[in-house]
Structure 1
C-alpha cells in the first residue's frame, strides 16, 4: 500500500530519533550491558513528570477536534483514557528503586522535558490540535522500537528481577498496537495539507527534545 506523505515523513523522523537515542550515552550504556541506576532513576523521574500530563493534553486536543475532525477526536479520547495512570507506573518503579515518593514529586524535569511538556500543551490548546499526532507517533514508536530491548537490558544489567520495569516494559508491549493504530488513523483521516504539515512539524520538534532529554539526563546525577 502506498504510504501517505504524513506517514513517510514520520518514518524518517522515527529512524532519526532511534539513531539519536542509540548514540546517546544513556542508551549506549544500557545496550552495552552497563546500565546505570542513577541515570535510570533520573529517566523515570522525568517520565513521571511528563506522563502525568499526557492524558490531559490528549483530551484537550480531542475537545478541540470535536467539530472539525470527529474521528480523530474519538481516537484521542480513547487514547487519553488508555494513558491514565502511566505516571503511577513510573512512580511505583522509582519506589522499587528506593526513591521516596515526595522526592519524585518535588523534582523538576530536565529543560528539554519541561520544554516538551509546554510544547504539547501549546499544540493541544492553542495551535492545531491535529499536530499532536506528531508527538504521539514519536513516543509510541520509540516504545515499540526499543522499549522491549531496553527493559531486558535494564533487568539484566541492574539485576532487577523483573521489578521497577512497569513503565518501560509496559510500553514496549502496548506501543506496538498504538503505533499501528496511529498509522492507520492518520492514513485514513488526515488529508488536509496543513494538518499534515503541522503533524510533521510537531514530530520534528519532539524528536529534537526527546533525544536531548536523554543527553541531559546523563549529565545530571541523582
Structure 2
C-alpha cells in the first residue's frame, strides 16, 4: 500500500527541514544585532504575508473556473475559509513594527527583493499554469513552521523591545498548529492524483528552500539584505 498523501508529504519535508531549522536558529541567535534582525524579519514577513490572502483568493477562483472535479470543490471551500482566517495578519505585522519604532511606510513602500517575490511568486505561476492545489504545499510549510512557544518572550527579553512588538510571533505560535492539523485533514481527504501529489510536494520543497534563503538574508548584514539578487 502506498503511503497517504500527508505521510508522503511529511516524509519529504522531514528530509529538508534541518535546512530551515538551521536558518531559523541562525536568525534568532542571541547577540547585539538581534533587535535589527527582528526589525528586518518584520519587514520581510510583511512582504510575504500580505500575499497570503490574495494567493488563496486567486487559487479559489481558479478552482471555481476549472472543470468540476473531486478536488477543486473542497479545495476552493477550504481556501475561501482559510483566507478569512488569515485576513488582516499583515496589519498585525505593521502594528508590531510600529511598536519597534518603525514607520509603516518602511514596510509598505519598500520594493520587495527578488528572493521574496520568488517565494510567493512561484505559487502564482503554479496556480495559473498548473493547478491551484500547489498552494497547499506552500501553506503546509508556512504553518508547519510556526514560531516556537516562548520565542516571543525570549525575543522581548533579549532585544529590550516592547512586548507589543511580538504579538504576531506570539499569536502564530498559538494558531498555526491548529491550522496545520486542519490542512493535514484536507490533504488526506482530497482524492489527489499522482501529478497533484507531486505538485504539492514540489511547491512545499521550493517553499522550504526559499524560506531558508530569506531567513539567511535577514541574518546577514543590512547591506546584503538590501542588495539585489543576481
TM-score when normalising by structure 2: 0.85
Q: How does 1:104-119 map to 2 (within 5 A)?
A: 104-119=107-122
User: Which residue of structure 1 aligns with residue 187 of structure 2?
Assistant: 186
State how far apart, in whole Å, the 2-side matches of 1:180 and 1:150 are. Answer: 21
User: Which residue of structure 2 aligns with residue 162 of structure 1?
Assistant: 163
Cα offset, 1:31, TM superposition: 5.1
Q: What SS is found at the alignment partner of 2:118?
A: helix
User: Which residue of structure 1 aligns with residue 7 of structure 2?
Assistant: 8
- Choose 10-19 or 101-110, whichever is displaced more: 10-19
State how far apart, in whole Å, the 2-side matches of 1:44 and 1:34 are. Answer: 18
Cα offset, 1:100, TM superposition: 0.8
Cα RMSD over matched residues? 2.3
User: Which residue of structure 2 aligns with residue 43 of structure 1?
Assistant: 41
Cα offset, 1:11, TM superposition: 1.6
State how far apart, in whole Å, the 2-side matches of 1:90 and 1:182 are. Answer: 24
Is 1:171 equivalent to 2:169 in the alignment? no
User: Which residue of structure 2 aligns with residue 133 of structure 1?
Assistant: 136
Is 1:27 equivalent to 2:28 in the alignment? no
Cα pair 2:119 2:210 within 8 Å, conserved: yes
Task: Work out which of the two has the higher radius of gyration on C-alpha atoms and give 1 or 2.
Answer: 2
- Choose 7-16 or 44-53, whichever is displaced more: 7-16
User: Which residue of structure 1 aligns with residue 209 of structure 2?
Assistant: 208
Cα offset, 1:124, TM superposition: 2.3
Is 1:77 equivalent to 2:94 in the alignment? no
TM-score when normalising by structure 1: 0.88
State how far apart, in whole Å, the 1-side matches of 2:13 and 2:185 are. Answer: 16
Cα offset, 1:106, TM superposition: 1.9
Cα offset, 1:32, TM superposition: 4.8
State how far apart, in whole Å, the 1-side matches of 2:126 and 2:110 are. Answer: 25
State how far apart, in whole Å, the 2-side matches of 1:85 and 1:77 are. Answer: 14
State how far apart, in whole Å, the 2-side matches of 1:32 and 1:18 are. Answer: 22
Cα offset, 1:75, TM superposition: 0.5
State how far apart, in whole Å, the 2-side matches of 1:196 and 1:124 are. Answer: 14
Which stretches in structure 2 are left out of the alignment for 5+ residues?
A: 224-230
Cα offset, 1:168, TM superposition: 1.4
User: Which residue of structure 2 aligns with residue 151 of structure 1?
Assistant: 152
77 and 29 in structure 1: CA distance in 2 versus 1, 3 angstrom threshold: closer
Which stretches in structure 1 are left out of the alignment for 5+ residues?
A: none
